[in-house]
Structure 1
Amino acid sequence: MSDRKEDLERQINLTFAFLSAGSYSRKFLTQAWIRDNVGGYKGLTDGAFRRKLQRDLAYLRRVGVPIEQFTLDTGDNQQAYRLSQDSYELPEVEFTPEEAAVLGMAGEMGQNQELGAFARSGWTKLAAAGAHRDLSRNTALTNAGDLRTLSARNLDTIIKARHRTKQITFSYQYSQTVPPVTRRMDPWALVPEHDRIYLVGFDLDRDAPRSFRITRVSDIEVGGPATHPIPEGLDLQDFVRAQLRHKSVLVDATLRITPDRAVELKAAGVEQPDGTWLFNDVDRQWLVTTAAAHAPEAVVLEPEDVINDVVHLLRAAQQEVV
């Protein structure tokens, strides 16, 4: 990805975070929160992070996003940021060709020679599990972040409905093996979480708050007036994480990772004094597919059941080649 596209993707991630922050109990973002939760800032030195964040904030202000900076009343001069809601009225959403290219990056891959080479390899098994290899420049692997598959139309529709206090209807397909179903929702926010984006709101069919991964949502349409506002004090980031813990199997694991490789994996782990990487409470399926996609630069050392699943996935990929 070009530097400009990386900048655009990071700035869009940051914009999502600001749009959702008004729904959090704290109503603002700190530098530490941005660094830990917004894609594009992890792995930077303190100085590089601050410079990149300030450039991104300046850019967003320049294009009309009214971001306020203030000092928290904590006694340590900690800086925080928030949207000025009084002066912020979202205009009609339009994307330049370059911005559309960032949002539709996964779709573009399907139209070039990279996918042809990719499909002829055993990596198709890994792709079906959620990972892909970038064959354009080197052997580094990356996970297909949800932002890269979010269409401009769907983004436009969700944001318009949210700011006009409207319901939405959409098709939801939990997996490729089951048919899609129509769902109705009062949308609250798009919440980023570890390179994934979740549509959060009040599910009118289930009569309860729900989150839906945006990659499983399609055919979004604006409906009638929304009748369920965000509950007072509800932190949507915490809500999404609680939903994921309920739905997912979380594991602890230890991996050996080659230096300067598997950046996505390292972002979710902590390096140990012996050079291994420790992962606590990570989604088991994500770990299996991502570790397999990064093999042999990433090797699971424990637990044994995760090792076995990674080996099984790699053997299935090898059989595709044979």
Structure 2
Amino acid sequence: MAIPKAERLMNLALCLMNARRPLSKRELRASIEAYASLDGGPGGADEAAFNRMFERDKEDLRELGLVIETGESPLDGETGYLAKRASNRLPELALAAEEAAALALAARVWQQARLAGAASGALQKLRAAGAFGNNGGAAEGSPAREEEGRATVLEPRIPAHEPSFDKLMLAARERRPVTFAYRRSGAPEPGTRTVEPWALECWHGHWYLAGFDRDREDARVFKLSRIVGQVRTRSGGFTAEVPAHVDVREHVARFAGEGATATARVRLRRGVGWPLRTKALAEKSAEGEWDEVELPYGHGLAADLAEFGADVLVLGPEELRAEVLAHLRAAAGVKGAETA
């Protein structure tokens, strides 16, 4: 039975870290079961397979942060490898209370995601190292432990219930484009989007993805709750440059109209449209059953207004009125009608 790669990497790391001198590839092959199980003598086909496997494993360990040094093996004079403990020992962790809280909150994001076990294990290791203060080693029933319990009775949580969360997170990390069906606000049917995902962020209780929309050739944000069906990864890499800093909230706010310098004047039927009224810059009564409201105007306002149908009337600007009418016609399945 083949030995899992994770076990093979762990055995190689332990062997290199416990060595007192550089070990040659010949010695490592004889010491590690996964390598020794490759039959064949030196110079044979299995020797080449071992060399390829060892080089991949060595690079994987280095990517994981293990510092591997080279030197001459005194046993056979060949190039040897060694991972000194001093070079691979983490410095003492000293997190401020705010840093520890932020780290714990970030780990709780994974409570509904696939890395819940890894996040929990990471927190346990940090607590054992004293990263969360001196209470980590306090005995049960001690004042320190009781104080810790009181401090965590009320704690913020960031759920990740959206089915697409895991796949989008991995695609963003691995820089792989994705395709998914996305239902825009006011659209009768979802449309297919091909996106190069940059980053995910939770904002106002909802998860958003920021990335490069290949079809529109521009940056876009997507609300995960509006993704329909499966997210599928595509072959190939990114075609657009990823910004050095991706501020998902800035993108969401821009597309939601927050921070906009332009304003719009709309009439709302009295007693409806409370989500819009909370953003109002000014509000006054108008004739009949209408109120006149002044709102910040930015990308996304047309979709918000269209959701209220006949209970909203756009007074200006004219381009916003045209956008709202386009949303309403799309929802009704009307095509090619003249703008009212």
What TM-score, normalized to structure 1?
Answer: 0.36
Structure showing greater relative contact order (alpha-carbon pairs closer than 8 Å, 6 or more residues apart): 1
TM-score by length of 2: 0.35
